[in-house]
Amino acid sequence: MEKSPESKKAKGGELPIETDFRLKQERAFAPKKETPASPPESSEAPAKPVRRRKDSAKLVWDSKPRRAPNPKDIEFQTAEVVIPNPASAGALPLSFRDGALGEAELDKQKMNRLIWGDNLLAMQALLANGYEGKINLIYNDPPFASSEDYHFSVTIGGEEFNKQPSIIERLAYTDIWAGGLDSYLDMLYPRLQLMKRLLTDNGSIYVHLDWNVGHYVKSVMDEVFGRENFRNEIVWQKFGAHNDANRFGNITETIFFYAKGGDWVFNTQHVPFDDEYIEERYMPEEGTGRLFYPNTFTGKGEGPPRIFRGKLLTPPKGRHWAMTQENIDTLEKQKRFYYTKNGTPYYKSYLDEDPGKPVQNLWTDCRMTKSGVERLGFETQKPEKLLERIIKTSSNPNDLVADFSADQEQLRQWPKRPGDVGFHVTLAKSQFKSPALASSNSAQSRF
């Protein structure tokens, strides 16, 4: 009897197509039996674990610019040359229109420069003129989103007059943002991108803000310069006291200090010790009266004994003398050791040789004076000492320094160092009203 096609075996042991299809259908609809999962074959690579991205948070607002602004080949037109600073030398400004100086005689790269115009365009022009990666230090004092309308006032004969602003001055000194925080960040974000491009690889930037908008700008700067390049939040005490209804008085402003990369200029600055500190730590030297601090000079780790005043002294347990015998003998002749009653030696650190206490991130000694030559009556004026500290800390002589948000009514005193040259970028022409070279809302640079 012939077997049905369903039971026939094809060559090679395979069932005919019709049977094979039917069996597959039956298996597909049959209840699945749970079988233990077989271990993967050794030839197959194990599946890689899914890793979460690190620092994937992004700063987003609706109108955030998607592209950084590009350099623009904008020609700078020289309007006036002042040689030297009229406040310090009594010289009158010299204009090209007077024919007193020929433009060909001047090397603009060796002069302070004050650029009048929108700092966004000024920075784009500087990039186009070869300043990319050339500026060593930038100080930026942008608007604070304070909703204030700043203007210049002058007192004549005891009566105060307010100067009517021009159209460009209204744009420059009105800190009111129609689009709220979004429009403020739209203004600042591309400017910070350009500042980064202008900085040298070892350059630094200080951005001066207050409580109102500082925390938002900190996030923007983290994105532009990188969180890893954040160096300090400097708290500057602006007032001694301030009356704010139903809250603590706001007497401080904030300065964010960033480096462009992992290598940056930092010259440690010092402030004098206060009287209480000196009284607690220093003692008068017998015979001379010089104040000194008895300083230990041992280090961690065992070490050999040394000879002091002809006696072999063993350092404390687990310590070693941090000087060679030769250095000890030299300092002994100079009477630089102080000995306790039990004969323990200490090194004399004289107060008049100590540079003072290193400056920390709380600055309480740079307040704006209420009167005097420096005071110009401009509400947002910053003290010369504040800028001097920043410049001396983060630049060296012959470095190029820029202030990209300078006030028209304020010219500041920058450290006078041989070969120093600066230039400003401002939204209104600066007036030489003080013995200063820089202004608060202009971009100033120095060589």
Q: What is the DSSP string of 85-145?
A: -HHHH-PPPB-GGGTSS-GGG--GGGS-EEEES-HHHHHHHHHHTT-TTTEEEEEE-----
Secondary-structure percent of the chain, ordered helix, strand, coil, rounded to 5: 25, 20, 55
Q: Going from the N-terminus, what domains does the chain have, and what CATH number goes with each?
A: 86-269+361-439 (3.40.50.150), 273-354 (no CATH)
DSSP element (H, E) containing 288 = none
Residue 13 token pair: 């042991």
What one-character DSSP code corresponds to residue 442?
B
Please list the rounded mean pLDDT of every run of 10 residues in the chain (447 residues).
Answer: 47 46 48 56 63 73 84 76 57 47 55 79 90 93 60 59 56 56 87 95 95 90 96 94 89 96 95 95 96 96 96 95 97 96 96 96 88 68 90 92 70 42 40 29 31
Cα 312 from Cα 357, distance rounded (Å): 35
Distance from chain centroid for Cα 282: 36
User: Please, what is the Cα angle at 198 between 197 and 203, to 5 degrees?
Assistant: 100
Cα 206 from Cα 115, distance rounded (Å): 20
Residue 304 token pair: 């050999």
Q: What is the pLDDT of residue 333?
A: 96
The closest of 422, 412, 397 to 110, measured between CA atoms, is: 422
Q: What is the pLDDT of residue 193?
A: 96
- Terminal-residue alpha carbon distance, the chain: 110
| Residue whose structure tokens are 């202008």 | 198
The closest of 6, 58, 126, 10 to 400, measured between CA atoms, is: 126
Residue 441 token pair: 């809302």
Q: What is the pLDDT of residue 62?
A: 83
Encoded amino acid at 34, one letter? E
Residue 278 token pair: 């000196």
| Residue whose structure tokens are 């194990």 | 46
* Tens digit of each residue's pLDDT (9 = 90 or more) over 25-72: 445 445 555 555 555 555 566 666 667 666 677 788 888 888 888 888
Task: List C-alpha distances in Å: 203 to 51, 132, 163, 257, 356.
Answer: 35, 12, 38, 11, 26
C-beta of residue 198 within 8 angstroms of C-beta of residue 126: yes
